[in-house]
Structure 1
């Protein structure tokens, strides 16, 4: 068997960090020396290379050109805190496209987001065609309008009465369905209430039969929005697009969703038309401490 993972003996200081940090059982401590005993178990997480202080590991499964020393001086908790506190959901965008190189940069950074078992199954559909964006927005909004109109019929009211089984469902119906007449009026003025006239829609998708597809895609989406914010690009999660892909085949065809894949997160990107110079107010966190605070 050709060794795809190798320990460079003259560089290794036998610190055992590779053994401790490998979650797949590739490395083992044999007589005080780290030994590669199960390369077929490697999930390409790169941790053995990342944790080694002596650069004493070669791993042919990896793109080693991407591996470099971490720039520790650039890691600042105050900076990250300000990013988290200042990032807003943007619903008004400039009539200006986002440059392709910026979109590629955003996705390039996003791909480093963690995934369960390092599956790296997150994929991206990036839509910038104005006609397709308008069609998606119209499809989603018209579906909501149909839902609303049905809710005003006798049979619809009977069904909705049955749907109000919990406070959460009741709150959802009140929030989105009951004000629908106002939304329809607003839509008729030219306001895009779904994609907010944003120039870019990004859909993050993963395998349909995945235990952790939603986690993987939403972690990636969070990193995407935060990094985009650092570049001056606004974003907004569009949950209704994600929801509609569950049961609307026309929408799935519009976005060219591959077979066997499921959209777990959708968001728009663009240059903000409004700036937010101040932070916002939020409720105090609801925390249950187990074992002390």
Structure 2
């Protein structure tokens, strides 16, 4: 594993203090008009290097480099709200194959997602060729526990567990793995936005996520490492149905204090 470290070029540093001002860990200070580290330990968030006007601070040991921001691009707030308002869980998919470049964009959205304490603990399993076999394993798990669920839930009793119960014959499934479930859910939301931008329908398969976490066989088969769990499973495909109206929602509940 590459060692991550902050490197400060004191010859470039002009002592402006911006780096210490934005440092979340309070690990940078200005002495004699030059920036310096308080401790070697750091969460490596990159705030300092991103704000430095003289490029005097660099983060080493990462697989990619920081990209220079050349323009401010802002999302249209009305368009974002429109997307959220008309967002639907899709369970009817076309057989159309999703281009690999679109899958790559979705994965990149997950990779770039912010994480608590900059853990960067999120990884992914893409089910493509093996999705039917893995789904059958999950079906077996749920068929075993369904009689118990039926005792407590009318909705469970109405659900018939068939061979496509989890993935609905969608072309691509992405399982999001994380140490902290919240980080995985944050990644899922960003991935959904990119999928929507590419015309895809998305389903959050909480049922498969449960099966993946409780079944040792599934965990082993999809390679969930020790210390991680399935945070969410995203089902992707081009929708085979068009929704014409938004989802009904309760009124806004908010209190200003």
Which of the five TM-score ranges fits, normalised by the shorter chain? 0.7 to 0.9
Aligned to 1:225: 192
8 Å contact 1:4–1:61 — kept in the other structure? no
- Based on CA coordinates, which of the two structures has the bigger radius of gyration? 1
1:205 aligned to 174, 177, 190, which one? 177
Q: Is the 8 A contact 2:208 2:233 kept in 1?
A: yes
Aligned counterparts of 2:171 and 2:21: Cα–Cα separation in 1: 46
**8 Å contact kept, 1:200–1:270:** yes
Q: How many aligned residue pairs are there?
A: 253
Aligned pairs for 1:1-293 (under 5 A) are 4-7=6-9, 12=14, 14-30=15-31, 33=33, 35-38=35-38, 40-62=40-62, 65-69=65-69, 71-129=71-129, 132-149=130-147, 160=151, 173-175=153-155, 177-180=156-159, 183=160, 187=162, 192-207=164-179, 213-287=180-254, 289=255, 292=257
Report the CA distance between 1:9 and its aligned residue.
Answer: 5.2
Q: Is the 8 A contact 2:97 2:171 kept in 1?
A: yes
- In structure 2, the residue corresponding to 1:58 is in which secondary structure? strand
Counterpart Cα distance in 1 of 2:249 and 2:238: 25
Write out per-residue CA displacement over residues 199-253 of structure 1, whole angstroms, 9 at most, x where no aligned residue. 111111123xxxxx11111100111111111111221111111111222122223
Once the two structures are superposed, residues 141-191 of structure 1 have per-residue CA deviations (whole angstroms, 9 ceiling, x without a partner) of 343333334577xxxxxxx5xxxxxxxxx5xx232x2213xx25xx4xx7x
103-112 vs 216-225, which deviates more? Answer: 103-112
Seen in structure 2, the aligned counterparts of structure 1 residues 200 and 43 have a Cα distance that, compared at 3 Å, is: same
Q: Whole-Å Cα distance in 1 between the matches of residues 64 and 9 of structure 2?
A: 15
| 2-structure distance, mates of 1:261, 1:232 | 31
The offset of 1:277, in angstroms, is: 4.3
Normalised by the length of structure 1, the TM-score is 0.75
My pick for the range that moved more, 223-232 or 272-281, is: 272-281
8 Å CA contact 2:98–2:172 kept in 1: the answer is: yes
* Contact 1:237–1:268 under 8 Å retained in 2: yes
Find the aligned partners of 2:6 and 2:66 in 1 and give their Cα distance: 17
- What do you get for the CA RMSD once the two structures are aligned? 2.7
Partners of 1:197 and 1:214 in 2: CA distance = 26
Greater share of helix: 1
With over 3 angstroms needed to count, the CA separation of the structure-2 counterparts of 1:137 and 1:10, relative to structure 1, is closer
- Please list every run of 5 or more consecutive structure 1 residues that lacks an aligned counterpart in the other structure: 153-159, 161-169, 208-212
Match of 1:164 in 2: none
SS in 1 for 2:203: strand
Q: Which runs of 5+ in 2 are unaligned?
A: none
